[in-house]
Structure 1
C-alpha cells in the first residue's frame, strides 16, 4: 500500500468543530492560529447560507477566533458558483437572506420573480408563507429548483429550528419536484472548496462533527477525514455507519499538533 501524503491543506466545518452556539470550542482559536502560522491553505466551511463571509468572520472574531474573510466558504457561495457555471448571467427567485442574495449578485445573477431560471432556496430565520407559495408557483411554471443544503433543522438557544431541508420537503411535496442540493453532503461542496485554495484531495484533510454530512462528503471527494466529538456525533453513533472517518478525535484541540507537524494521518 502507498504511504499517505503529508497534509498540505485543510478544510474544516464550523458549527460543532470551531464554535457551538457562537461560543468558541476550546482549541479552536489555537487551531486557526496554527494554520495561519504554518502558511498552509485552509477554508472554514458551513452549510449555513444566512450570512456572508464578512458576517461570519465578525461572528467568529467575537468568539475569539480570527479567520480571514477569504478563508470562509459557505453553501451559498458554492451554490452561486455552481449556478454561474451552469447558466452564466442567469436569473433566480431567492428564498433566503443576505448570504445567498449577495453570493448570487457577486456572480452576476439577477434576482426576480418574473420567469426566473431558478428558484433558489436557502436558510432564513423568517420563512414567509407568501414566499414559499411564490416559489411553488414558479417551479410549477418551469423554474429549476435548487437548494443550498439539505439540513432538516438547525440549532438555536431555544431548541431546534426548521432549516432548508424541511422547507425544501414542503415545496417538493407541493410541486412533485425535488431540488438539487449543492451543500454538504454533496461532494461538489468539497470540490469547489478545493478549487478555491488550489488544493489536491490526496493531500487535504476534512474535519467535521457529523458523519452524515462532513464525513461522507469528504470521503466521496477523496479526502482524508477527521471526526471530532464536540458536535452532533457520539462514539457509539460512528459504528452505525457503513463508512468510517480516517481518524476520530475528542476535539479540535487534538488536531493542533497535526497542523504543526504536517501529518500524515491514515
Structure 2
C-alpha cells in the first residue's frame, strides 16, 4: 500500500515524492541580500547576542556587516568577533571609523589631522599615511574616543575656532550596553565639541548618511531594492535604509521592532518594512 501523508496546506507526499519543507519567512527569501548592523544587533557589551551565530549562518554568503563602530578596524573587529563565536571575515565588515579615515586620506592627502579616537584608529591612520598633529591642524576628525577628557575638548574646540574643518565618524549618541545600560558614543562627544566651538561638522560619514550603505551594497554587488537592513537603531539603521530605498527590520524592545534578539527574529514571520513606522517618525 502506498504511504500517503497529508499536510495542513492540503498537499500530499508519497514515498516517491519529497516531503515539502516549511516555507521561510518573507524576510529570508533567497533573493535578499543583507546589510546587518553590529552593536545591539549581533553583539552587546563584548559578547554575541542570543542567536547571532545562527543568524549569520542562515545568511551565509549574502550579508555585509555595516556598523557605525568608530573604535576598531575591520581586521581587529574580525578577531574580536571570532573570539565571540562569530566567524566574520574583515572583507565582510564596513566600519565608520576606518571608512572615515580612508575617505579623509583619499580626499585630503596633505591634511594635518587632529584625530580624537581610539589607539587602533590612530594606528590605522598613521599606517595609511595620515599626518596626525596636536597643533596647527587643518582637520579635526572626531570618533568615539574612550579617553576623551576636558583637555582634549579644549584643544579641539580651539583648533576649530581657529578655522579647522570638523569631520565626524558617526552621529550616534550611545549604543546598548549590558543590563540596560548605555555606552556613550561619538554623537555625545560631538554635542560637547560643537557647543564649545560653535561650528557644525563638514560631514558625518556614518549611518544614516549613505556612504557606508553604498560600500556595503558594492561589496554585495546588489542594488538598494535587493537589500534588507537588519539593525536596532531607528534613527540610523531604519532612517538610512529608507532614504536609500532599502527595506529594513529592527531588533529591540521599542515600537516598530520585530524581535528582541537574533534568536527571536529567526522564528518571526515578517517582511521587511519599506517606510518608517509611525512611532519612529514622531520620535
TM-score of the superposed pair, with normalisation by structure 2: 0.75
Kindly tell me the number of residue pairs found equivalent between the two proteins.
243
Tell me the residue number matched to 2:22: none
Structure 1 alignment gaps of length 5 or more: 239-246
User: Which whole-Å deviations, capped at 9, do the CAs of 1:12-66 have from their partners, x for residues lacking one?
Assistant: 0111211222232222101222333xx33x2212222112222222222222111
SS of 1:248's equivalent?
A: coil
Kindly indicate whether structure 1 or structure 2 has the higher relative contact order, using CA contacts under 8 Å at least 6 residues apart: 1
CA gap 1:33/1:135 in 2 versus in 1, 3 angstroms: same
Q: 1:216 aligns with which of 228, 239, 258?
A: 239
Counterparts of residues 158-197 of structure 1 (less than 5 Å): 159-179=181-201, 180-197=203-220
In structure 2, how many angstroms separate the alpha carbons of the residues matched to 1:24 and 1:102?
26
SS of 2:59's equivalent?
A: helix
Point out the more displaced range, 211-220 or 73-82: 73-82
SS of 2:50's equivalent?
A: coil
In structure 2, how many angstroms separate the alpha carbons of the residues matched to 1:165 and 1:225?
23
Counterparts of residues 111-126 of structure 1 (less than 5 Å): 111-126=132-147
> Does the 8 A contact of 1:76 with 1:99 survive in 2?
no
In structure 2, how many angstroms separate the alpha carbons of the residues matched to 1:196 and 1:84?
21
Tell me the residue number matched to 1:22: 46
Tell me the residue number matched to 2:130: 109
User: Which whole-Å deviations, capped at 9, do the CAs of 1:178-208 have from their partners, x for residues lacking one?
Assistant: 1232212222221232234433211111100
> Does the 8 A contact of 1:92 with 1:116 survive in 2?
yes
TM-score of the superposed pair, with normalisation by structure 1: 0.79
> Does the 8 A contact of 1:95 with 1:132 survive in 2?
no
In structure 1, how many angstroms separate the alpha carbons of the residues matched to 2:172 and 2:247?
23
Cα shift at 1:109? 1.9
